[in-house]
Amino acid sequence: MSDAGSTVDGSRFARRLLDALSEETNRTILSLLDEPASVAEVVERCDIPMSTVYRRLDTLSELDLVTEHVAIDAERGKYRRYERNVRRVSVSVGEDGRLRARVERAKGEPDEEVTWEPTGR
């Protein structure tokens, strides 16, 4: 979560994270990616248009919620596979009224937390 360096960046990241997770298509794709899958596999399993899958994977990748892997296959050649990069995402309201988004990473990577502070506070 490279956007989480300062309160302003953390707020921007938290808003982008919440926006992304509010989209049912993004949640569907994240749920599917417990194992690496190609775009074609996501399209087939979720019945989502390919252009939508590409756009949503770009968003999820920017937020570091999915990881992209390059695979090589004798039939398909070189192609990309995507895998969920988080175990859990939680949002809480602290005693100070700020929203906190906690991203628990998979595979031993450090967990991350960002705080959203509304403008004008």
Name which of 10-14, 26-30, 77-81, 83-87 the model is least confident about: 10-14
pTM: 0.78
Helices 24-32 and 7-22: crossing angle, nearest 10°? Answer: 90
Average pLDDT for residues 70-99, to the nearest whole number?
87
What secondary structure, in 3-state letters, does 61-92 show?
HHCCCEEEEEEEECCCEEEEEEEECEEEEEEE
Model pLDDT, residue 68? 93
Tell me which of 49 and 11 has the higher pLDDT: 49
Cα–Cα dist 80/61, whole Å: 13
Beta bridge partners of 80: 70
The three-state secondary structure class of 26 is helix
Tell me which of 6 and 64 has the higher pLDDT: 64
Residues 83 and 66: beta-carbon distance below 8 Å: yes
- Give how far the C-alpha of residue 115 lies from the chain's centroid of Cα atoms, to the nearest Å: 17
Residue 87 sits at φ, ψ, to 5 deg, of: -95, -40
| pLDDT tens digits along 14-54 | 889 989 999 999 999 999 998 999 999 999 999 899 999 99
| pLDDT tens digits along 90-119 | 888 888 888 888 888 877 676 677 777 666
